[in-house]
Amino acid sequence: MKTLSIQRIGNQASIILPEELLTHLGGEQVIAIETPYGVELLPYDSDLAAQLHEAELVMAEDAEVLRRLAG
Protein backbone atom coordinates (compact mmCIF):
# COMPACT_ATOMS: atom_id res chain seq x y z
CA MET A 1 0.00 0.00 0.00
CA LYS A 2 1.22 3.47 -0.85
CA THR A 3 -0.09 6.69 0.65
CA LEU A 4 0.07 9.52 -1.87
CA SER A 5 -0.56 13.23 -1.40
CA ILE A 6 -2.95 15.26 -3.52
CA GLN A 7 -1.45 18.61 -4.46
CA ARG A 8 -3.25 21.65 -5.81
CA ILE A 9 -1.73 23.11 -8.97
CA GLY A 10 -3.79 26.06 -10.18
CA ASN A 11 -7.40 24.91 -10.63
CA GLN A 12 -6.44 21.23 -10.73
CA ALA A 13 -5.37 18.59 -8.26
CA SER A 14 -2.44 16.28 -8.97
CA ILE A 15 -0.97 13.14 -7.48
CA ILE A 16 2.72 12.45 -7.94
CA LEU A 17 3.25 8.73 -8.55
CA PRO A 18 6.46 7.07 -7.35
CA GLU A 19 8.73 5.65 -10.04
CA GLU A 20 7.85 2.02 -9.24
CA LEU A 21 4.14 2.73 -9.83
CA LEU A 22 4.92 4.55 -13.07
CA THR A 23 6.94 1.56 -14.22
CA HIS A 24 4.12 -0.82 -13.27
CA LEU A 25 1.50 1.27 -15.10
CA GLY A 26 3.74 1.81 -18.14
CA GLY A 27 3.16 4.36 -20.87
CA GLU A 28 1.87 7.89 -20.58
CA GLN A 29 -1.81 7.20 -19.92
CA VAL A 30 -3.86 5.22 -17.41
CA ILE A 31 -7.51 4.27 -17.12
CA ALA A 32 -9.16 5.39 -13.86
CA ILE A 33 -12.16 3.32 -12.77
CA GLU A 34 -14.38 4.30 -9.87
CA THR A 35 -15.15 1.24 -7.73
CA PRO A 36 -17.08 0.78 -4.49
CA TYR A 37 -13.69 0.81 -2.74
CA GLY A 38 -12.24 3.95 -4.36
CA VAL A 39 -10.41 4.53 -7.63
CA GLU A 40 -8.43 1.88 -9.49
CA LEU A 41 -5.69 2.83 -11.95
CA LEU A 42 -5.01 0.46 -14.84
CA PRO A 43 -2.46 0.63 -17.65
CA TYR A 44 -4.09 2.22 -20.70
CA ASP A 45 -5.50 -0.32 -23.13
CA SER A 46 -7.47 0.97 -26.12
CA ASP A 47 -9.69 -2.16 -26.26
CA LEU A 48 -10.57 -1.86 -22.57
CA ALA A 49 -11.17 1.89 -22.93
CA ALA A 50 -13.60 1.24 -25.81
CA GLN A 51 -15.43 -1.48 -23.83
CA LEU A 52 -15.76 0.78 -20.78
CA HIS A 53 -17.07 3.63 -22.95
CA GLU A 54 -19.71 1.35 -24.49
CA ALA A 55 -20.73 0.07 -21.05
CA GLU A 56 -21.15 3.65 -19.80
CA LEU A 57 -23.38 4.45 -22.81
CA VAL A 58 -25.56 1.39 -22.17
CA MET A 59 -25.84 2.20 -18.46
CA ALA A 60 -26.83 5.80 -19.20
CA GLU A 61 -29.31 4.74 -21.89
CA ASP A 62 -30.93 1.97 -19.86
CA ALA A 63 -30.53 3.34 -16.35
CA GLU A 64 -34.16 2.74 -15.35
CA VAL A 65 -34.19 -0.87 -16.56
CA LEU A 66 -30.90 -1.58 -14.78
CA ARG A 67 -32.26 -0.03 -11.54
CA ARG A 68 -35.29 -2.32 -11.70
CA LEU A 69 -33.15 -5.38 -12.35
CA ALA A 70 -30.85 -4.50 -9.45
CA GLY A 71 -33.57 -3.85 -6.97
d(CA 53, CA 33) in angstroms, rounded, equals 11
d(CA 47, CA 37) in angstroms, rounded, equals 24
17: exposed, middle or buried (Cβ count in 10 Å: 0-12, 13-18, 19+):
middle
Whole-angstrom CA distances from 8 to 15, 33, 47, 68 are: 9, 22, 32, 40
> Which residues of the chain are modeled with pLDDT < 50?
none
**For the segment 11-21, what is each residue's pLDDT rounded down to a tens digit?**
999 998 999 99
Global pTM value: 0.60
